[in-house]
Each structure stands twice: as structure tokens, then as C-alpha cells.
Amino acid sequence: MRRGFHSRTAALAVIAAMAGVAHADFLSFASDMNADGPTFSGPPTLPPGIGFFTDGQHMNVDHMVMVDLLWDADENGPGGPVAIPAMFSFRANFNTYNMFPVAGSFVHAYTANGFADFVDPQTFERILRINFNNALFTSWSNSPGLWGETATLQDHEGTDPNIVFLPGGPLAGRDLSMSEDFGFTLTAMETMDGGRIPIAPDGSILDTWMSEGSFSAHAVPAPGALALAGLGLLSVLRRRRSH
């Protein structure tokens, strides 16, 4: 019992000693982690908007998009990431559209606002919410009337002062309020019959579609927040050992 006590005390002492250093947090999930359906999906546009897309929950057998959210709290240090099982919820609303010819191809570009949520599937406690107001969605294509088979959605505080990371659960205590950025990569984008995704000249989407997707994000916690987050990290590690 004394050995366990000293181990926990030593771990917290290390975390407290590091509290004055603002290490960047990295968060990510890999593509195709969700085995029973797509990561993302989108409907045809209904006027008057340009369109939107969401997570693929309604196309999944269990009506959930499950991912392992990897959290690396010490930047590129020796600690390594912790895998946190999470339900993924998402919505992006398209606001503006432009098309740019590039070397015989076409870049379809949209600005978007929305959110991404990661929730504990057992307690339904929010692990992380990202709010964004000026993200950029792009798809590179050989046609002015079709999206390509891949796309990206990216945002950072340099172009979007309203981007916000709201941590909870095991991330509670992390003040992820500096240098926030994220990117989603969409792959295998297709309509329900496996075709390319058609769009109108104004950027409106003309068919239901789905895709796989991956995620990566970065933020710098406020100095001094690491000690509190250490308690959440130890809780995650303890829960992993118990399963």
C-alpha cells in the first residue's frame, strides 16, 4: 500500500513540477476507426443555404461514430498519447463558395462554421468540444461540377478568432485557449451509389454523400494548468488498467 501511495505521489510531483511549462497538447483520431459506417455524411442542399455536412451517425448500424481520441499532453515528449474511447458528433454549415482553376483542375472552396464533439460513451460526459466560425473546406477536382474524392476542413486562430476548444472529462483542467488549430481529412468521398459528388454552380450539393475521415488538432494550455490535467490523465490510465 505504501508503494502505491509513493508511486501516485511521485507522479503528481512530476506533474506539479512541469506545471510552469506550457507544453502543446496534440489530439487526433485515425481514419476508418469506425467499423460499421462512414465518419461523415451530407444531404443534398435545400434552399436557401449552400449546404452542410455532419457525422455519419444515421448511416451507422449502432447510430454512433466511435473513435479512439488520442491525447498527447506533453507535445513530442516521452510520455506518448493516451487513447480515449469517444463518440464523435459533428456539423459544419457552408457559408460562402468559390471555385479556383488551378493547372487544368479546380479547387472548390467553402467557408464554414460549426462544431465537433467528443463524448464518453459510458458516462455521456463531454471530453472535448470545438466550436469554429471561419473554417475552410476545400476539395480538388478535375471538374467544375464535381467534388474530388478527398477534401480537407481546417481552421486556426490566426484566421478565426472565434475558434474555441472546451475540454472536459479527463481533459478538465487543461486551458486549451492558445494557438488552437485543427484539421479534418475526408477520403473515399462518394454518393450512395459510389459516384462522384455533384454540385451546382453556386456550390450547392446535389446528392447524398458519405466519406471516411481523420482528425488532428493542437492547442497550448495556459501555464500552470498541467497539474490539474494530471489528475484527469491518471484517471484515464487507471480506467484503462481496470478494463
Residue 129 has pLDDT above 70, yes or no: yes
C-alpha cell at 144: 467544375
pLDDT band at 230 (very low <50, low <70, confident <90, very high): low
Give pLDDT, residue 9. Answer: 47
Q: What pTM was estimated for this model as a whole?
A: 0.82
237 domain residue, yes or no: no
10 domain residue, yes or no: no
pLDDT band at 37 (very low <50, low <70, confident <90, very high): very high
Contact partners, residue 31, CB within 8 Å, separation at least 6: 39, 185, 187, 212, 213, 214
196 domain residue, yes or no: yes
229 domain residue, yes or no: no
165 domain residue, yes or no: yes
Domain hosting residue 203, numbered range: 22-223
Q: In this structure, how many other beta carbons lie within 10 angstroms of the beta carbon of residue 238?
A: 10
C-alpha cell at 139: 476539395
145 domain residue, yes or no: yes
CA–CA separation, 136 vs 159, rounded Å?
10
Higher pLDDT, 25 or 22: 25
Residue 238 has pLDDT above 70, yes or no: no
Residue 243 has pLDDT above 90, yes or no: no
What is the average per-residue pLDDT within 119-138?
97
Give pLDDT, residue 34. Answer: 84
164 domain residue, yes or no: yes
Given a contact cutoff of 8 angstroms between Cβ atoms, the answer to whether 186 and 154 are in contact is no
Residue 77 has pLDDT above 70, yes or no: yes
Given a contact cutoff of 8 angstroms between Cβ atoms, the answer to whether 132 and 166 are in contact is no
**Exposed e or buried b for every residue in 64-91, given b needs 16+ CB within 10 A?**
bbbbebbbbbbeeeeeeebebbbbbbbe
160 domain residue, yes or no: yes
Q: How many domains does the chain have?
A: 1
Residue 135 has pLDDT above 70, yes or no: yes
